Amino acid sequence: MSLTQTTNPAPASPVSPAVPFLDLRAQQARIGPEMRRRIDAVMDHCQFVLGPEVVELEAELARRAGAAHCVSVSSGTDALLIAMMAEDIGPGDAVFLPAFTYTATAEVPLLLRATPVFVDIDPSTFQIDVSDLEAKVAAVRAGGRLRPRAVIGVDLFGQPADWPAITALAERHGMMTIDDCAQAFGAALHGRPLGTQADCTAISFFPSKPLGGYGDGGALFTQSAERAALYRSLRTHGEGQLRYDVQRIGINGRLDTLQAAVLLAKLTAFDAEIAARERVARHYDRRLGNLLQTPVRVPESEAAWAVYAVLLPDGLTRERVQAACKAHGVATAIYYPKPLHHQPAYAGHHTGESLPVSEDVATRIMALPIHPDLTVDQLDHVCDVVAGALAHPAQARPARA
């Protein structure tokens, strides 16, 4: 049976079920009627920009995050952009961020002509390494060319970064903190939902995220009324209290009403889906934990498993396991094949120094399917294939040139 409580009986399971990385159709089968009701309501009132669903969604997200303010925006990337525009981050400013993350985290400071400073990650949790962060801040200070302005912590794969340590360090150095929570809405640290750990928190509704829309979208959380007002202004061309009163340079960065309607429908299933993702993670932990490195839990946290990434002993083994998965209908993915300081677009902005953990992890990491509609049969199939490829290297070795 499916790991979410579903009223639709699952079809008889085939011998080798194909296991997709994501199954938005299965999700639609569970929440279709509510989704259609929500979309029809927007079609009826026709307020496609900043309609009532946007207001309702912001209130509901703020409640869930335990945040004073939520401002919805056009994407997770625009959430980061607006957050940094609001602080006037720009030329001469150093923005510290992990080298092992999605490209958007580094792209935004560069769009604003600030300087990203890449920080290595912890080898067990893959989250930003706070001792390396301390070293990188000290190096920027010693260099005297850049002003340390902000730290972007990323809650990678749905687990929280070490926020107490990050915020303490940022405070010591007079920097603001941004939580890139694009992969982790719904996660918690020390019993508190993510959303208030940093000065502002950015989330994404890209369809593959745990809370995904049917297109692009994102949101910002903050405890500061001033920041929230700035975010609202910046997402609408920098307008002031009155329309066509342009106070500052902004962007067109609003969330569509239709996306808000979709997200409100999705939220009715969200808690059960986060619980289902946790059950999938535990199933993998149980069956694969002795064979390879399964995700190490961040202490005193609850994850929102956007990605379940395992670490293989080396790159060749990863290739072999991935090939076996492909041959048996199991989707896999590599997040991320290259740390950001090695990306052609960013390498020129890096000191050239090695970030050994990020570089090593990129060669060995592999993500397995994790979504709320995986059945126990599908999970067992994934585990059988992975275990088989690790146990019988010769049979599963891909043809090599």
HEC-encoded secondary structure of 68-82: CEEEEECCHHHHHHH
Q: Smaller CB distance to ligand PLP: residue 76 or 339?
A: 76
Q: Smaller CB distance to ligand PLP: residue 179 or 373?
A: 179
Cα distance between residue 388 and residue 369, in whole Å:
17
CA-wise closest residue to 365 among 306, 267, 292:
292
Residues 142-161 binding ligand PLP (CB under 6 A) are 154
Burial class (CB in 10 A: 0-12, 13-18, 19+), 241: exposed
Question: How many residues line the site for ligand PLP (CB under 6 A)?
Answer: 15
Q: Which residues pair with 148 in a beta bridge?
A: 94
Compute the half-sphere exposure of residue 321: CA atoms within 13 Å on the CB side of its CA.
Answer: 28
**For ligand PLP, which stretch binds (CB under 6 A), given 97-105, 185-193, 278-286, 291-299?**
97-105
Cα distance between residue 118 and residue 126, in whole Å:
14
Residues 193-212 binding ligand PLP (CB under 6 A) are 204, 206
Residue nearest to ligand PLP (CB): 76
Using CB under 6 A, which of 4, 27, 101, 125 touches ligand PLP? 101
Within the chain, what is the greatest distance between any pair of CA atoms?
70
Q: Is 102 in the site for ligand PLP (CB under 6 A)?
A: yes
Using CB under 6 A, which of 17, 51, 218, 295 touches ligand PLP? 218
In the block, residue with structure tokens 């972007």 = 152
Element (H, E) at 56: helix 52-65
Q: Smaller CB distance to ligand PLP: residue 178 or 261?
A: 178
Q: Is 104 in the site for ligand PLP (CB under 6 A)?
A: yes
For the bound state, the minimum distance from the C-beta of residue 181 to ligand PLP, rounded and expressed in Å, comes to 8
Helices (H) and strands (E) in the chain, counts: 13, 12
Site string for ligand PLP, 159-188 (x = CB under 6 A): ---------------------x-xx-----
Compute the half-sphere exposure of residue 320: CA atoms within 13 Å on the CB side of its CA.
Answer: 18
For the bound state, the minimum distance from the C-beta of residue 307 to ligand PLP, rounded and expressed in Å, comes to 9
By DSSP bridging, strand 200-204 and strand 218-222 are antiparallel
Residues 229-268 binding ligand PLP (CB under 6 A) are none
Site string for ligand PLP, 49-88 (x = CB under 6 A): --------------------------xxx-----------
For the bound state, the minimum distance from the C-beta of residue 204 to ligand PLP, rounded and expressed in Å, comes to 3
- Interface residues toward ligand PLP, by CB under 6 A: 75-77, 101-102, 104-105, 154, 180, 182-183, 204, 206, 216, 218
